[in-house]
């Protein structure tokens, strides 16, 4: 259950990292990412997520991840979520 933002508890500034390991269906990844971005826009419009929230471009490597982490740190996001696979080290089946 989400808490309704209030002056005492403002909406969280969220940083979402979109990463990819270069396998699986690219069209499905595009659709999934588009859906996530649309949902974030709805959360911002409803006031449940701060307008300063950030969604990264799709990243593929540790150096790109470090650059995104630096941007999110500079923006002082309240919450960081990695939207990549939970099992990126395992080969595709």
- What are residue 15's DSSP bridge partners? 54, 80
pLDDT at 26: 85
Beta bridge partners of 18: 58
What residues does each domain of the chain span?
A: 14-82
- Other residues' Cβ atoms within 10 Å of the Cβ of residue 39: 11
User: In the structure encoding, which two tokens stand for residue 83, read together?
Assistant: 């939207």
Global pTM exceeds 0.85? no
Strand partners, 54: 15
Tens-digit pLDDT string for the chain (93 aa) = 456 667 667 899 999 998 887 777 888 888 988 999 999 999 999 999 999 999 999 898 899 999 999 999 999 999 998 887 554 454 444
Write down the pLDDT at residue 20. Answer: 82
* H or E segment and range at residue 18: strand 14-19
Is 15 within 8 Å of 83 (Cβ atoms)?
no
Task: Compute the half-sphere exposure of residue 23: CA atoms within 13 Å on the CB side of its CA.
Answer: 9
pLDDT at 83: 82
């Amino acid at each position: 259950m989400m808490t309704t933002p209030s002056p005492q508890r403002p909406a969280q500034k969220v940083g979402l990292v979109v990463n990819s390991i270069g396998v699986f269906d690219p069209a499905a990844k595009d659709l999934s990412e588009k859906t996530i971005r649309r949902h974030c826009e709805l959360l911002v419009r409803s006031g449940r997520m701060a307008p300063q929230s950030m969604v990264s471009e799709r990243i593929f490597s540790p150096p790109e991840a470090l650059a995104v982490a630096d941007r999110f740190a500079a923006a002082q996001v309240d919450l960081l979520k990695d939207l990549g696979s939970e099992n990126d080290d395992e080969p595709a089946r």
